[in-house]
Amino acid sequence: MDFTPLFKPKTAVVIGVSFTNERHPANVIYNKIHLRYPVKVYPVNPRGGVFNRDPVYRTVGEVPGRVDLAVIAVRADLVPEALADCIRSRVGGAVIISGGFAESGRGDLQDRIAGMAREAEFPFIGPNCLGIYSPGHFDTFFLPGERLVRPNPGNVGFVSQSGGVLVDQMVKFTEQGLGLSLAVSIGNKALIRETDLLRHLAGDADTRVIAFYVEGFGRNEGRAFVELAAAISKPVVVLKAGKTAEGSRAVSSHTASLAGDHKVFSDVIAQHGIVEARNEFELTCFCESLSHYPRAIDGNVGVITVSGGHGALASDICTDLGLRLPRLSDAVKAEIRAGLSANIRGIASLENPVDLTGSSTDADFEAAVSALGRAPEVDCLLLLLLPYSPGISSDLGARLSYVHRQTGKPLIAYVPHVEKYRILIEGFELNNVPVASSIDGAAFMVEAMRRCRPC
């Protein structure tokens, strides 16, 4: 099946636009696409008429020209006829927003629409979903545009069984400055499933990292997913629900999925180099790290800080994750010391963590990053910045990014995420250095690179 009409449509119809309920999902979707996006959109309702001064078409077949995408938002029992209309009219694909299928005990109705689509080789997302968010192009979410937080275009592709988790994750991505190439809420995944979208995103030039929120797989589907994820060159991150008996029951009632044995799934994906996130925070950290550094490291970390307490906290967190803080050689310590300013040369601690003290300046950080960037005993640098230190300037992010580019060794920074330090953070982000909002988050970013390879 060709997914291009689904994800890059030029024209769309919204089936189910209401004349009496302005808050109907179809109305929200139609108005949003019509007013905010470059996709040409047409309203469809069997009654015909006029909606907001635009003609309403009784069927998709009445719409002039080719239709790439149909958004179906009608009662579940009306979906088969709407889908048949799309197939007859040679629409490119559909998003079925409507609920009331397998999640409500109507597996027969869901099987019926899936069978119709397979026979016609007609791709659709859903049912019981929000559908598609394509940054700057369109979205099919039945959420008011003024309430939706939209990440900027980026290189993370995200697929979620849950629309709520997807929207919430979009907020977290935006807060962290992480952009999306494509986001898809698949709901009951009656036809297009995780493996289909994994294959699509693997070939998508705009996607560098592929992330999933998964509730469950069908029989033998989990094996196929893992084998495909292991075979592609892009990092794959998975957040899996249904870890407990209670979670498994919730999964079943939400999208009629089988959660399966989580420990078995977790062990298998780890063996194949697929990165598992335990929660939404880890998912965000892992995606940001791997979107910058989609490669594996051994996990030997060099920590640079201005605070001994922050260095101690980072040491504990890294050790708990299985990362290592190796001792630095005398040669590396001598190189760092030679580059330090005279006022801290005698008081800085040059073990690992390297504590430059609160009296350090930009030049001291440059010296430490340069030396550790070439040190053979570490394969990643973790930088803990406290921007209220008097010797640090707002240009430090850009200056350290330049030093980092000379060595190429992965660099992760921690800077408190408040507006006052925005210039410092942007100095890193604009030079493709990820910035965590907490020490834990910075350590998780390093851990993502260590896990991104077969055990």
pLDDT, one tens digit per residue, over 137-193 is 999 999 988 889 999 999 999 999 999 999 999 999 999 989 999 999 999 999 999
What is the tens place of the pLDDT at every residue in 108-123?
A: 999 999 999 999 999 9
Q: Quick one: which H or E segment has residue 268? A: helix 262-271
CATH architecture group of domain 1-124: 3-Layer(aba) Sandwich (3.40)
Q: What pLDDT band is residue 254 in, cutting at 50, 70 and 90? A: very low
Superfamily for the 295-451 domain = Succinyl-CoA synthetase domains (3.40.50.261)
pLDDT of residue 388: 87
pLDDT of residue 252: 46
pLDDT (average), residues 194-202: 97
Is the confidence at residue 454, as pLDDT, over 80? no
pLDDT (average), residues 74-80: 97
What is the tens place of the pLDDT at every residue in 417-442?
A: 988 999 999 999 999 999 999 999 99
- Which CATH number applies to 149-294? 3.40.50.261
CB 436 within 8 A of CB 382: no
Domains 1-124 and 149-294 share a fold: yes
Residues near 406 by beta carbon (within 8 Å), at least 6 away in sequence: 370, 373
Domain boundaries, the chain: 1-124, 149-294, 295-451
Is the confidence at residue 66, as pLDDT, over 50? yes
Sign of CA dihedral 251, 257, 260, 262: negative
For the record, the structure tokens of 191 come out as 């036809």
pLDDT of residue 251: 45
Q: What pLDDT band is residue 27 in, cutting at 50, 70 and 90? A: very high
What is the tens place of the pLDDT at every residue in 234-252?
A: 999 999 997 655 544 544 4
pLDDT of residue 453: 66
Which of these, 280, 275, 285, lies nearest to 176 by C-alpha position? 285
